[in-house]
Amino acid sequence: MHRATAIAHPNIAFIKYWGHADAALHVPANPSISMVLDCLQTRTTVDFRVLRKDEVIIDGITASPAARTRVSEHLDRVRALAGSDLRARVRSESNFAVGAGLASSASAFAALTLAATTALGLDLPLQQLSALARLGSGSACRSIPGGFVEWMVHPDRSATARSIAPPEHWALCDCIALVSTRHKKVSSIRGHEAAPSSPLHTARVRDATLQAPACRQAIERRNLAALGRIAERDAVMMHAVAMTSAPPIYYWTAETMRVVRAVIEWREAGLPVYYTIDAGPNIHCLCEAAHRDEVQRRLASLPGVEQVLVACPGGGAQLADDHVS
């Protein structure tokens, strides 16, 4: 039987990956630090058999040719490692909107990598699994380990992701204000490519690299104010780079800005909450567990907010209990 099922969660970055040092190998221009999001998940079954070509079903629908090619190219990497030429039937389901800036490619490629390698009998160490997932989608390498994860760039231009604290280290919450669940128009792949064309890119990469140790320390000390300041600044800088790239990319909408302003007002009035935004219009609001219900309630009452998802630190990619059934 060449079949396995794996589950992985997306992650939210406090210092973002935006632009490459090596595009082909998805080596990022700067180190990044993130948290795995427990209640959002992708569950993927890979079933290798004698087929003419790979078949990919995402959330019950046959994948577009572009998505199928991306999955097939990733399976090719796994086939090359395992010395197999079997094709696969891939079924992937996420319990959240795919392609809306909620890092669905991170959970998707983390789950795909673990399921496909297991199905072909490979038992890769965590570092190798993470490095392989990265080739599918850069940020997927941060969804293989659990909890709070740092993706480091080494002097020899290699890059590895490792857990810096387990999920139970800190009851930090991400209250995600969904202002749109439509598929984003410009993929992060295009964003990474365009980043160096922005005159702000070099400054952001330098700043993100300098801030990484402070970000790690803020997590180690469970210091929300320090973490929040770093996360907000890097998110704004990432989007400033995107907006000043050629061609410019605008992920924010009027609703995004309305939520950002509300978060800043609430904080000034004493509620400890900070925001960050990925490659989409939705706003991730960071707070501690004690303030989660209040933040969720306030976000839900804002005009333009369709839904609020709440996630806590989650574990790394795992095989499903029934993974070979």
Window 190-209: residues binding ligand PMV (CB under 6 A): 192
Q: Given the rule CB under 6 A, which of 69-77, 82-90, 185-193, 294-302 is the region that contacts ligand PMV?
A: 185-193
Least distance to ligand PMV, CB of residue 174, Å = 13
Per-residue contact flags (x/-) with ligand PMV for residues 18 to 57, judged by CB under 6 A: x-------------x-------------------------
Binders of ligand PMV in range 99-128 (CB under 6 A): 103, 105-106
Of 279 and 312, nearer to ligand PMV (C-beta) is 279
Window 256-285: residues binding ligand PMV (CB under 6 A): 278-279
Choices 88-96, 133-141, 216-224, 299-307; region in contact with ligand PMV by CB under 6 A: 133-141
Q: How far is the CB of 138 from ligand PMV (least distance, A)?
A: 4
- Residue 234 near ligand PMV by CB under 6 A: no
Q: How many residues bind to ligand PMV according to rule CB under 6 A?
A: 16
Contact pick of 31, 138, 314, 316 for ligand PMV (by CB under 6 A): 138
CB 84 → ligand PMV: shortest distance, Å? 26
Which residue, among 28, 45, 36, has the nearest Cα to 137 in the 3D structure? 28
CB of 267 to ligand PMV, least distance (A): 23
Residues that bind ligand PMV (CB under 6 A): 13, 16-18, 32, 103, 105-106, 137-139, 188-189, 192, 278-279
